[in-house]
Amino acid sequence: MSRFLTPAKIGLLALMELYVEGAVPNDAIMPVLGFISSLLLNRDLVTAAASPSPAERWKRADRNIALIVSVKEFKKVLAPFAAADGVPGRRLWDRFLEKLWGIDSLHGLREFFDRLPNLIARTKDELRELAAHGHPPPVGVFLTRSSIFGVFVRRAHGNSRLLQLHQTAEVWKLFVKYRHPTAGHWRKRNPLYGRLSFDSVLMAGEQQWGNHTEAVAVAAYGDMLLVGDHDVTLPVTYDDVEALSEFQIDQMQKYGNRAPRDVRVKFQRLVKDSHFIPSLSHYLSFSDATRAGDYPMSFDYLYRYFDYTMQKSDRLFYQYALMNLAIVQSEFGSHEEAIDTMLETVSVARENRDLPCLNFTLNWFFHFGRAHPNLIYDLENSSMPTNEKASLAYLRVRARETGMWILWCSTLQSEAKVGLARGDSISAAMEDMVRSSQLIVLRNMKPMVGPQLIMRISLWDRLGLANMSSMSCEAFLRCYARNCLLEDELKVICRLAGLLAGKGKYEEAFARLEAIDPSTLCNAKTNQYWHFYRGLLKLRRDLHRGNLVSSETLLSQLLQTGPEDLEPDMVFVLDSLHMEALTRRGDLDAAFTKLDGLMAQLRETNRDISLRIRLLLIKAHIFDCAGRPEKGFSAAMRAARLAWRARLMSLIWQSLGALANIMNSLGEFEPAARLCVAILPRCLEADAAHTAGWLYSVLADARVGQAASAAAEEGHGGPAGLVGGIVLPMRNLSLEHTKQNHQQQQHGGGGKREEYLVQAHDALGSAGKYFADVEDVQKLCEVLAKKATLMKMMGQDGLAEEYARRYLLLRRGEGLEMYCG
């Protein structure tokens, strides 16, 4: 089997010959040349056109395979055009067939190859030589030597000369088979066509040999004639397979997606029929298996790949082999082994003085350390640069020295990320991002735009600018997604869905998630991520709706996914939801134990500051639920302080809300109300509906408290101690109690008090709206109960009854639509 020449390439050469002969009519020139050059270019430059969509990319690969397999592909291009020679009814396709069938024997093929140099423009020397021999210089269109066509023709010619005879014969046999589907068409034009017409020698011999001809033909052509059309070997060469594998690997590495199933199946058939399997195809299988989440197979293929490449010069890249191995190990969750492998990589790379590899390794260690701080802990103390910042600065300098722009850029981004996580100055982080952004623009690193935007999205999130964040998401999806890793795209989509869900637009969020390109989900990791994220959204919704049973099931399913398979952020989200579920079920002990565990874990490692704040807030919340909010005071204070320092806006509002709540419980209604009023508008900006609802309900409590104290001042109300008595039962959600209290309040009143109560009612109304948005039934019930109580206090019994009825309805699980509407 030849390395380069295939029947399809012979077809291309024949087409070029037609073109040079001037047989291609004017209107067909562009399509024909476009067809040829797209095929030739695809072989050499994958990214010829400006970033086509993934589907188009695969379609092209598909067409390449189709062309290798069948001659029909030529027909699609050529049949629509008439031939240039003016005979009516003759198509360009006919001329092409004439060319193909003109190659009528092995020797004909040889002559065809030997004729190839005639297609190429002569050099001056050759022209001089021709003139010396008295030949006129050739006229007509020619291909220049260094044009794409010229290079192809010369390469084909050179390759044809290198072939051994049996290889040429092999090409010839394949060509006969490749051409065979056109036999019917050819027979119509050529009445002399017979069974043995594919070889002129056989046809001539038929007269002499008679019925022995068949035996001779079988002897020469082997089983090809016996098996007939069912023969399965495809005319594929090493060159094709290599080009296709390179293309696929490129796709996988660049975009992280797998080939569509049908392309993959076709490709595997090609590989099966190729005599030489390039070692690259093992690498391809390895990547594919990794993407498919097939752990044992991917290891098998990786080792096989390195066994086959050991003999070549690739041995120098042993460190890269190790690096790949480490990445696979970490991807499949065996982190300790990954660390060992990576350390070996470092030592090997150091031995070979492979700076880029060292830099990559360091980068990997950095990211790995961020994801799994506990594992890296021992190392950090002994051998690694102790400080993250220092190691990043070192990495940045090295990347700049070695000209690894992508690494440089991602280091800057990492620096920004670390700064944010540690709660350092926002402007410093911003500066890093601007620098990386400048690098991206300067070096035109399209693939890096994705991470940059993701960084920016999270920055806006932290600053509580939800609009900016969702806008960035949209910008990414619309403009840059096709140049970026699929994983990034998926993450952005999930982020967007999360934002929508935060606003209570669950349906839209789910629609976003469902609308994702199914090819993305071929990949095991993305698939898992997607499912997990969907599960989380569902879980949150169920919790809000109070579907404790279904949420329990969902939670148990989600908890089965081990933390090693997930990103730490997701694990944290899951943990916090778990705690919320426990709280909602009233199992505060369990929730608190879990919280304690998480706190301890977090304290050991040096993680994102926002996580700590969140845990503190949850703590405060648990105390609140336990009816002793004041115990959460220090937690809330610390949370507020940390959040302020790190400018984590949405968290500040939450912690301040928690503070206000505690103040309420301490009877400090006035400052609590002031606090709530101050932060509410800022919180609304952050698009966090649940927080907003909660703040409103805290405000309402404060207002009621204020009303009580106003009444006390006016002397109508009971003793000041009662105030707590008013607020607390309302929080305890017991209707009877509130009613009782309400009766106690009945005779209170006056202008100030009324005003506060009306304000409280308004606040409750807003809170109810926001809770209804996020479908939080429990909170909504709370709000309704409070409203009913308020109405009772204000003496509007009818409305109070109405609220009480709605409350009951809601408790039974009906009537939520009314609020959501």
The closest of 462, 463, 491, 465 to 477, measured between CA atoms, is 491
The tokens for 750 are 């006056």
Q: How far apart are CA 409 and CA 404, in angstroms?
A: 9
Torsional sign, CA 460, 465, 467, 468: negative
The one among 2, 213, 257, 472 contacting another protein by CB under 8 A: 213
* Contacts (Cβ under 8 Å, ≥6 apart) of 338: 326, 327, 329, 330, 368
Q: Is 215 in the site for another protein (CB under 8 A)?
A: yes
Shortest distance (Å) from residue 17 CB to another protein: 20
Nearer to another protein, 163 or 522 (CB): 163
Placement of tokens 């990320």 in the chain: 417
Q: How many other C-beta atoms can be found within 10 angstroms of the C-beta atom of residue 392?
A: 23
How does DSSP classify residue 717? Answer: S
The tokens for 62 are 């598909």
Q: How far apart are CA 193 and CA 815, in angstroms?
A: 81
The one among 145, 212, 312, 805 contacting another protein by CB under 8 A: 212
How does DSSP classify residue 105? Answer: S
- What is the size of the binding site for another protein (CB under 8 A)? 30
- Which of positions 100-159 make contact with another protein (CB under 8 A)? 104-108, 110, 114
Nearer to another protein, 172 or 408 (CB): 172
Shortest distance (Å) from residue 95 CB to another protein: 23
Q: Is 216 in the site for another protein (CB under 8 A)?
A: yes
The one among 30, 87, 141, 218 contacting another protein by CB under 8 A: 218
The closest of 624, 626, 723, 733 to 669, measured between CA atoms, is 723
Q: How far is CA 47 from CA 31, 43, 44, 264, in A?
A: 20, 10, 9, 20
Give the per-residue contact string, 159-198, with another protein (x = CB under 8 A; - = no): --x---xx--x--x--------------------------
Q: Are 368 and 376 in contact (CB under 8 A)?
A: yes
Shortest distance (Å) from residue 114 CB to another protein: 8
Q: Is 222 in the site for another protein (CB under 8 A)?
A: yes
Torsional sign, CA 469, 575, 567, 366: positive
Nearer to another protein, 223 or 817 (CB): 223
Nearer to another protein, 218 or 479 (CB): 218
Nearer to another protein, 106 or 555 (CB): 106
Q: Is 200 in the site for another protein (CB under 8 A)?
A: yes
Shortest distance (Å) from residue 178 CB to another protein: 17
Amino acid, res. 32: V
Q: Is 605 in the site for another protein (CB under 8 A)?
A: no
Shortest distance (Å) from residue 170 CB to another protein: 9
Nearer to another protein, 125 or 223 (CB): 223
Q: Is 221 in the site for another protein (CB under 8 A)?
A: yes
Shortest distance (Å) from residue 164 CB to another protein: 8
Q: Is 375 in the site for another protein (CB under 8 A)?
A: no
Nearer to another protein, 20 or 217 (CB): 217
Nearer to another protein, 205 or 385 (CB): 205
Q: Are 764 and 697 in contact (CB under 8 A)?
A: yes
The tokens for 333 are 């969750």
Shortest distance (Å) from residue 49 CB to another protein: 42
Give the per-residue contact string, 318-357, with another protein (x = CB under 8 A; - = no): ----------------------------------------
DSSP for 607-643 reads --HHHHHHHHHHHHHHHHHTT-GGGGHHHHHHHHHHH
Vertex 47 angle, CA 44 and 48, to 5°: 75
Nearer to another protein, 87 or 218 (CB): 218
N-term to C-term CA, the chain? 70
Which residues sit at the interface with another protein, rule CB under 8 A?
104-108, 110, 114, 161, 165-166, 169, 172, 199-202, 204-205, 208-210, 212-213, 215-216, 218-222
